[in-house]
Amino acid sequence: QTKAVAGTEEYPIREFLNGGLKVTVNTDNRTVSDTTMTKELEFIQKTYGIRDDEILCLMKNAADVAFATDSVKDKLYRMMGEAYG
């Protein structure tokens, strides 16, 4: 939607992950973009071959960089641990 790249096939998420960058996936404005986190995660798995363990890494990265207190981040980490082991 932002036209930052010519098309989805050109987006370098795999290179970013392989390069050790702290990649996150976000929905921005869900009502404008007509999306959800589930849709976004399914899309990157199907389009870029992102594995389940990498999805967990992306979610942990999102919590790491969130504008949230440490106690909120700790709760997110616990929830992820319970859901994904």
24 close to 58: Cβ distance less than 8 angstroms: yes
Q: Does residue 1 surpass a pLDDT of 80?
A: no
Return the higher-pLDDT residue of 61 and 6. 61
pTM: 0.81
Per-residue pLDDT tens over the stretch 21-68? 999 998 877 777 788 889 999 999 999 999 999 999 999 999 999 999
- Residue 29 to residue 26: CA distance in whole angstroms: 9
Which residues lie closer than 8 Å to 17 by C-beta, 6 or more apart?
A: 23, 50, 54, 57
Residues in the chain, overall count: 85
